[in-house]
Structure 1
Amino acid sequence: MGNKRLAVLVGCNYPDTPNELHGCINDVVAMRDVLMTRFEFDPSHIKLLTDEHGSSIKPTGANIKRALSQMVDKAESGDVLFFHYSGHGTRIPSLSPGHHSQKDEAIVPCDFNLITDVDFRQLVNRIPKGASFIIISDSCHSGGLIDKEKEQIGPSSATRTGTTTKTLSTKPKIIPYETVLAHLAASTRINTSDVGTHLRHSFGDDASLRFRLPWHELQLFAQLKPDEGILLSGCQANETSADMSPAEGGGKAYGAFSNAVQIVLHENHSPLSNRELVVLARKVLEAQKFEQHPCLYCSDENANATFLLQPRT
């Protein structure tokens, strides 16, 4: 029986590119502090990957997956594994016949080597029984990022009015599929509209499983029983998440969802369930007039488990 608390934190600001964001590194640095002070994570068990200038390990697709795989390899029953991603997301054409949206979700590492919902499903399937794997994804289209995970808090029919706070400048954390495709095509110079061909050509075995495995093998990742994967997404699969920057300086940039989580944790010192955290984060964003709805995907039991398994006193 283990009692390790392990974390991989990834912040992608894409500096000096047309896709530049400003708050993503701040998001994961703030979470690192909270993990150590509130949730008793050992600093040596927290791996931080950012694309700031001078960073020794960049958050490429291969580096992120390697860090996550190493974390999963260390896991034992009783361990808590945590992944916080703040950066761009995208949607790609679905391979699943009859998929309701014909789109699947992916995050966009700094080198555009997409990590898809299938990759996260494969990681969750490797978690030993009794361990938990919690993901916070503050990115566009992040709802459903663990393939086939059960929806607990999901798409809302509520409509919103109003605008975001006037003292802030907002940018959606999305790189459209067409932009991803154009970026990869410029690199490979292959005349095809198949993103998988470009990714396999550029990244080989480091490309997503979704683009490397045949359809019948991908079906082996289908969820057959309750698992310990827990996804707290910054928005629904059809929505964008906001990156906020002070319009006139004098403050830190941040991701709207990551900041909402920080506010909720700061205002609630007692342990919160995963469900309570997402509900309260939704209320914070609603009060701030953001057009995004955080979601929760996990088993019924994990919906009511405390966030990061913080003991109730």
Structure 2
Amino acid sequence: MEHPVPPRRFVQLVGVDLYQNRQPNEKYPKEGWRTSKEGNLVSLRSLEGCVNDVELIQGFLDDHFTPYERSILTSSPSKYPNIPVEEEHRVPTYQNIKREFDNITNRARPGDSFYFHFSGHGAMVPKTEQSPFQGGRTDEASLLTSDYCYGKRPVRGWKLNQWLKKLDKKKVQVIVTLDSCYAAASWRYEGTVRSPENWSTCNLPGDEEDEGEDEGEDEGGG
């Protein structure tokens, strides 16, 4: 007699304290940086507390929801400018976040659960040709990755929605918490700017590339 397979818990936690800005080097040449609509270099203030949030959530899950399978992506300041403490494959870049999502999606079964948390900057960024919102919206809410200012992709709200829909179609219970802004002039304690005030940015060629992995998926917003 076969025994039923117990449901599994998957967790993906993302916390971005260090945002990499304005330090050209061989890996990230100046030509690849983002600029504003006025042509100025885009920069993001690094944050405090996002990595700590991830650690606190992980501790809570360890105490109350073991066993579970976790993926942790964080960006913490080091003694070197713009270089995180974490190894490259554990930093919250678009590619790393997507890789972990894909890994969980491929392994998850009906009845499993998935919890996703993001702590970091959010902003309204220009639409791409792949955006499902081609009407009146000129910008769309996105989660900003640690290397966004180096010209790398953000996680756009509608893209996150597509990833989550894949899990939902597999009958996986999905829970999401997002601790991020998407509008300018958002403030934290003591007047510290969390999202840049009067901030604008432009898309780069890489933003317009069609990955093709979501063809046939229902469109949706974040």
Q: TM-score range by the shorter chain?
A: 0.5 to 0.7
The one-letter code of the counterpart of 1:58 is V
Higher relative CO (Cα under 8 Å, sequence separation at least 6) belongs to 2
Corresponding position of 2:91: 58
Report 1:56-135 matches (<5 A). 56=87, 57-94=90-127, 95=131, 96-99=133-136, 101-112=137-148, 113-127=153-167, 128-135=169-176
Contact 1:2 1:76 (8 Å CA) reproduced: no
Contact 1:60 1:110 (8 Å CA) reproduced: yes
Report 1:1-313 matches (<5 A). 3-14=7-18, 17=21, 19-38=45-64, 40-42=65-67, 45-52=69-76, 53=78, 54-56=85-87, 57-94=90-127, 95=131, 96-99=133-136, 101-112=137-148, 113-127=153-167, 128-141=169-182, 168-175=189-196, 178=199, 180-181=201-202, 195-197=203-205, 200=206, 211-213=208-210, 220-223=217-220
Tell me the TM-score normalised to structure 2 length: 0.66
CA distance in 2, matches of 1:169, 1:117: 29
CA distance in 1, matches of 2:140, 2:19: 26
In structure 2, the residue corresponding to 1:29 is in which secondary structure? Answer: helix
Size of the aligned set, in residue pairs, is 173
In structure 1, the residue corresponding to 2:170 is in which secondary structure? Answer: coil
**What are the Cα deviations for residues 74-117 of structure 1, in whole angstroms up to 9, with x where unaligned?**
11111111111000011123452334x53211111101021112
CA distance in 2, matches of 1:111, 1:16: 6
**What are the Cα deviations for residues 185-235 of structure 1, in whole angstroms up to 9, with x where unaligned?**
xxxxxxxxxx042xx1xxxxxx5xxx3239xx8785325xxxxx9x8xxxx
**170 and 11 in structure 1: CA distance in 2 versus 1, 3 angstrom threshold:** farther
Comparing both structures, which one devotes a greater share of its residues to helix?
Answer: 1
Contact 2:20 2:147 (8 Å CA) reproduced: no
Contact 1:60 1:109 (8 Å CA) reproduced: yes
**180 and 71 in structure 1: CA distance in 2 versus 1, 3 angstrom threshold:** farther
Structure 1 gap segments, 5+ residues each: 143-162, 182-194, 201-206, 224-228, 232-313
Contact 2:125 2:141 (8 Å CA) reproduced: yes
Aligned residues: CA RMSD:
3.2
Tell me the TM-score normalised to structure 1 length: 0.48
Q: Aligned residues: percent identity?
A: 22
Structure 2 gap segments, 5+ residues each: 22-43, 79-84
Contact 1:121 1:221 (8 Å CA) reproduced: no
Contact 1:105 1:117 (8 Å CA) reproduced: yes
The one-letter code of the counterpart of 1:47 is S
CA distance in 1, matches of 2:134, 2:19: 38
Q: CA shift at 1:27, angstroms? A: 0.9
In structure 1, the residue corresponding to 2:192 is in which secondary structure? Answer: strand
Contact 1:80 1:131 (8 Å CA) reproduced: yes
